[in-house]
A and B are shown apart, each in its own frame.
Chain A
Amino acid sequence: KAGVTQTPRYLIKTRGQQVTLSCSPISGHRSVSWYQQTPGQGLQFLFEYFSETQRNKGNFPGRFSGRQFSNSRSEMNVSTLELGDSALYLCASRLNSGNTGELFFGEGSRLTVL
């Protein structure tokens, strides 16, 4: 069974640009969550999608957005990039939104903003 796949793994952008990150969950998993990991702030929850609907949202500005497609794949977008957006963005999937089962994480997309 394939794990959570994130693309791209590494990318470099400049301030003011926008970026789109992609996540393919484990087959059969309908919930996808996104987390930002930085040395200073640690792991912070961005949002969770289930059945193409955002179910939960963290405390991030509106520049951070996401969506989920009917096949459960998810994308997150960051517009007007700032230096502080440099981070490892982790996607995680689980069977359903409401359960307390394990979150399966991808290897992340490492974004560097110059």
Chain B
Amino acid sequence: AQSVTQLGSHVSVSEGALVLLRCNYSSSVPPYLFWYVQYPNQGLQLLLKYTSAATLVKGINGFEAEFKKSETSFHLTKPSAHMSDAAEYFCAVSEIAAGNKLTFGGGTRVLVKP
């Protein structure tokens, strides 16, 4: 069964500092992995996705993530935080065997300090 663990429910970073959000997954087969962002009172927006192509995936708004099979990780990074990055971020996994439904991690809320 697929599952996702996001380490840290809250992360505080200074504007201009590195953003690092951790995601580990459990899957019986090579999974598809996603990062979504949710701003207050809004739905989820896709930041990036890994679907077995390049292991380093670049997304929108300067975010990128690296798939590491040996560590079963898919951590999200951004070199320099901006105030507009304050939001909640969700890592998700899907498997064909599970009907391609998304299983989400618990989310990490990012606070950006000026």
Specify whether A and B are partners. yes
A33 within 8 A of B: yes
CA distance A99 to B51 in the complex (A): 11
Q: Taking the nearest CB of chain B, how far is it from the CB of A63, in angstroms?
A: 20
Q: Taking the nearest CB of chain B, how far is it from the CB of A51, in angstroms?
A: 14
Interface centre among A48, A58, A105 (most CB of B within 10 A): A105
CB pair B102–A103 under 8 Å, yes or no, is: yes
Contact of A45 among B44, B102, B105 (CB under 8 A): B102
Give chain B residues whose Cβ lies under 8 Å from the Cβ of A44.
104
CB pair A105–B100 under 8 Å, yes or no, is: no
One digit per residue, 1 when the CB lies within 8 angstroms of any chain A CB and 0 when it does not, for chain B 82-96 equals 000000001000101
CA distance A58 to B103 in the complex (A): 10
CB pair A55–B43 under 8 Å, yes or no, is: no
**Those of A58-114 within 8 Å (CB) of chain B:** 58, 90, 92, 97-100, 102-108
- Size category of the B interface is 20 to 34
CA distance A103 to B99 in the complex (A): 14
CA distance A42 to B37 in the complex (A): 14
What is the total number of residues of chain A having a CB less than 8 Å from a CB of chain B?
A: 24
CB pair A45–B32 under 8 Å, yes or no, is: no
Q: Taking the nearest CB of chain B, how far is it from the CB of A31, in angstroms?
A: 9
CB pair A42–B107 under 8 Å, yes or no, is: yes
B113 within 8 A of A: no
CB pair A58–B101 under 8 Å, yes or no, is: yes
B70 within 8 A of A: no
**Those of B36-79 within 8 Å (CB) of chain A:** 36, 41-46, 49, 51
Q: Taking the nearest CB of chain A, how far is it from the CB of B50, in angstroms?
A: 10
Give chain A residues whose Cβ lies under 8 Å from the Cβ of B102.
33, 35, 43, 45, 103
Q: A58-B101, A100-B32 are in contact. Are A107 and B107 (CB under 8 A)?
A: no
Please, could you name 10 A-B residue pairs with CB atoms under 8 Å apart, sorted by A? A35-B104, A42-B104, A42-B106, A43-B107, A97-B100, A100-B96, A102-B46, A103-B102, A105-B45, A106-B43
Identify the A interface with B (CB < 8 A): 4, 33, 35, 42-45, 48, 55-56, 58, 90, 92, 97-100, 102-108
